[in-house]
Amino acid sequence: MPNPFKLNLVHRPRRLRRTAGLRALVEETVLRPEDLVAPLFVIDGKGRPEAIPSMPGVSRLAIPDLVKECRALGKLGILAVALFPRIDARLKDEEGTAALREDALILRAVRAVKRAVPGLTVMTDIALDPYTSHGHDGVLTADGRDVDNDRTVGILSGMAVLHAAAGVDLVAPSDMMDGRVGAIRRALDAAGHEGTAIMAYTAKYASAYYGPFRDAVGSAKAAGTRGLDKRSYQLNPANRREAFTELKLDEAEGADIVMVKPAGLYLDIIRGLRYATRKPIAAYQVSGEYSQIHAAARLGWLDLALCRRESLIAIKRAGADMILTYFAREMAAELRKAP
Ligand code: PBG
């Protein structure tokens, strides 16, 4: 009996989806461990790793464990790590003075990692939020009602020079102050660090998805709220054109890599910047993006491994050259088993 619904089609896209072999042959986006940057949290002392309840599978590590983790990541093909310090609350103050200490935890961590795993690319955040008692990325104006742009930029420039001297390959200003990329570039060059690159958080949105990260570095606690209001410096999630304004400025000021953050909810921004710049683009799959996949998986509502892969593929497909993600280690391990 001939099928009465038989279609007379020339084009049947399903032909190329028929077998695993054909699907692989026409696959457009391939994720590699080398695309992934692992953000890691570091604490002082020699204590055991501290679990972060809102980020399952992520812990704050003391320097000896941090070094071990970096070695393990290197073996999995991860080429770069981004280090974030969580300092003792007693070291925090309004001015974030601990950021400029020569014995700062982050500097000791960088030196230790560079000594133990010299081939690993190390980047650090340039912003004051791990150091300020109020949790803002900069110092406040005299009336305490806003972050003081130019005074903050001065401090961040000093911080970048310290990090460069400790051996970081890339400094990553994540503060969103105006003019900071140019100021940091000039300060680095003046100090003889013309080889240290700048990964600018170019389009960093005022996102609610940073909540778990603020638990991790203790900036929410310092501020007394996970919903710390950073809207006077981070971009409005409603805005797209503004990302291009920031891109132009960061490029002109000397950024080597430009970043979009968060990633998954801002694929249109990644895509837009991809067409607008020849610079490499980084995307940051932030803590909340990570935690929501874990939370849904715990409830049995989503498949962790499949959502992990799909979320990262989507970010790469949109145009990111590299992805900062808390899934880096597990994703790399999975890719090495079955690319
Ligand atoms: C701080 C900084 C933040 C993140 C990276 N650097 C948080 C913030 O701006 O409050 C967020 C990363 C994440 O959520 O994973 N300058």
Burial of 19 (0-12, 13-18, 19+ CB in 10 A): exposed
- What was the pLDDT predicted at 158? 98
60, 125, 129, 289, best to mutate for ligand 1 pocket (most atoms within 8 Å of CB): 129
Does residue 4 have a cis peptide bond before it, meaning omega lies within 30 degrees of 0? no
- Cβ 289 vs Cβ 212: under 8 Å: no
Three-point CA angle 48, 80, 334, nearest 5°: 80
Mark residue 77 as left, alpha or beta (left: phi above 0; alpha: psi -120 to 50; beta: remaining). left
* Residue 49 DSSP class: P
Nearest to 189 by CA among 94, 121, 253: 253
Ligand 1 atom nearest residue 219's Cα: 10
Q: Which residue has the tokens 């899934």?
A: 327
- Within 13 A of 62's CA, how many CA atoms are on the CB side? 8
Q: Mean pLDDT score of the chain, rounded to an integer?
A: 96
Ligand 1 binding site (Cβ under 6 Å of any ligand atom): 125, 127, 129, 137, 174-175, 210, 213-214, 230, 286-287
Ligand 1 atom nearest residue 135's Cα: 10
Q: Give 3-state DSSP helix, strand, coil % of the chain, rounded to 5.
A: 45, 15, 40
Q: Which residues are catalytic?
A: 204, 261
pLDDT surpassing 90 at residue 125: yes
Distance 191 CA to ligand 1 centre (A): 27
Identify the band that residue 228 occupies on the pLDDT scale cut at 50, 70 and 90. confident
Nearest to 163 by CA among 199, 133, 139: 199
Question: Nearest residue CA, atom 14 of ligand 1?
Answer: 210
Identify the band that residue 338 occupies on the pLDDT scale cut at 50, 70 and 90. confident
Q: If you average pLDDT over residues 170-182, what whole number do you get?
A: 98
Nearest to 126 by CA among 193, 32, 51, 209: 193
Distance 84 CA to ligand 1 centre (A): 10
32: tokens are 């590699």
Ligand 1 atom nearest residue 210's Cα: 14
In 68-113, beta strands by DSSP E = 80-85
- What was the pLDDT predicted at 322? 98
Q: What is the CATH number of domain 29-337?
A: 3.20.20.70
- For the chain, give every domain's residue range: 29-337
**pLDDT > 70 fraction of the chain, expressed in percent and rounded:** 100
pTM recorded for the entire structure: 0.96
Question: Nearest residue CA, atom 2 of ligand 1?
Answer: 174
Identify the band that residue 72 occupies on the pLDDT scale cut at 50, 70 and 90. very high
Distance 267 CA to ligand 1 centre (A): 18
Query: How far is Cα 59 from Cα 315, in angstroms, rounded to an integer?
Result: 24
